[in-house]
Amino acid sequence: MGARTIGARVQRQEDPHLLTGGGQYVDDIHLPGMLHAVFVRSPHPHAAIRSFDASAALALDGVHAVFTLDDFPKRISAERMPVPVPTGALSNSAPPYCLAKGEVCYVGHAIAVVVAEDRYIAEDAAAAVMIDLEPLGVVNDPRRALDKNAPKAHLGDESNLASSFNLIFGDADAAFRDAPHVFREEFWQHRGCGNALECRGVVARPDSVDGRLTVWSATQTPHVSRRMLAELLQRDAETIRVIANDVGGGFGPKAIFYGEEAIVAATAVKLSRPVKWIEDRREHFLTASQERDQFWSMEIAVEKDGKIRGVRSTLLHDTGAFVPFGIILPYIAGATVPGPYVLPAYEF
């Protein structure tokens, strides 16, 4: 056991390969006959989709297809995406569809996918798609979103509350009863946005000979991607291979499976051609999952010498228009508050 680990110098293995330009990312993949996808996205934070006209886009040379949700098989067109980490604490899970269905719920919400010979043509075609959107009420402050009469995140919802849960150990009431000192504070934790050098990207290639589907993805979770693709495409997971090459940064947003990944794969299968989609920086800021605003009310009870007796807190967490990954972020936030301290009682 004589090896020293703490404080030891660890020789990095990957640096020379990456620093000399040997890395291969999703956008470095070029396949024969490959088409390029661009998503048509909403300019509104909330709106009803009244009509959709892709005739001008389809008339452009080099455009192969324009697909909306209804153009895909039933598992994609009629059902919402599965929640990767389900929990009974979700009273209103509201996972998204792979593309917008009837309404858009945030700026950048993908409505359709355009497929063309190259990215430039696909961008022009996406701009030519005509969509009639009727703006609906919006609310961007989660404190006001809980008001009974606040605009709802989705048509037909009765409430904007997705989940309510508690984390408790010890007797917090007893800890605060007759405590020598009680301190109270409120905190606002602003949202954070993972901003990797490489944005999201997917290349999907169907094989007409053996029926396999190969997907290259800038993902942190290739096994999750394969499981989700198998469910959404209604095929055996053994017929899907997901490859995560060098990934230019992840930071959490690339741990989530997105509707665009399923749509690119389904489009490739539908057209029997390889299809590539590379997210641009604006799309990343608008549509990649982010850590959201948190509003905390906290109080701590301590002895005269400062020894902690107990902590009580409430958290209001803004999960955005959907709950793409269960309640992981607010759960982790609540679970890590005690930190390294000896804490006899905690109520969250």
89: CATH: 3.90.1170.50
Residue 306 in this model has a pLDDT that exceeds 80: yes
Last residue of a domain, one of 237, 256, 287: 287
Q: Is 156 a member of any domain?
A: no
Whether 15 maps to a domain, the answer reads: no
Number of domains in the chain: 2
203 and 277 co-located in one domain:
yes
pLDDT at 184: 98
| Nearest C-alpha neighbor of 175 from the set 62, 59, 333, 312 | 312
DSSP codes joined into one string, 216-262: EE--S-HHHHHHHHHHHHTS-GGGEEEE----S--TTGGGS--HHHH
At residue 100, the pLDDT reads 98
Residue 186 confidence (pLDDT) above 90: yes
Number of helices (H), then strands (E), in the chain: 10, 16
Residue 27 is predicted with a pLDDT of 98
Residue 1 lies in a domain: no
pTM of the model as a whole: 0.94
Print the SS3 string covering 309-328: EEEEEEEEECCCCCCEEEEH
Q: Is the pLDDT of residue 228 over 60?
A: yes
Q: Last residue of some domain: 287, 307, 327?
A: 287
pLDDT score at 2: 61
Once rounded to an integer, what is the mean pLDDT over residues 17-37?
96
List Cβ neighbours of 300 (8 Å cut-off, separation of 6 or more): 182, 183, 308, 310, 311
Q: Give 37 or 3, the one with higher predicted confidence.
A: 37
Q: Does residue 304 sit within a domain? A: yes
Quote the mean pLDDT of the chain.
95
User: Is residue 260 packed enough to be buried (19+ CB in 10 Å), middle (13-18) or exposed (0-12)?
Assistant: buried
Mean pLDDT of 167-179: 97
Q: Give 82's DSSP letter.
A: P
Give the tens place of pLDDT for each residue, 148-165. 999 999 999 999 999 999
The 201-206 sheet, strands edge to edge: 63-67, 110-116, 35-41, 275-278, 201-206, 213-217, 240-243
Q: Which residues pair with 116 in a beta bridge?
A: 36, 63
Tell whether 127 and 30 lie within a shared domain. yes
In a domain, residue 224? The reply is yes
User: For position 43, what pLDDT does the model report?
Assistant: 98
Domain that holds residue 295: 166-191+291-347
End-of-domain residue from the set 238, 264, 287 = 287
Residue 145 lies in a domain: no
> What pLDDT was estimated at residue 340?
93
Residue 273 dihedral angles phi and psi, to the nearest 5°: -140, 150
Residues 133 and 252 in one domain: yes
CA atoms of 12 and 311, how far apart (whole Å): 42
Give CA 213 to chain center in angstroms. 23
Position 24 pLDDT exceeds 90: yes
Residues 265, 317, single domain; the answer is no
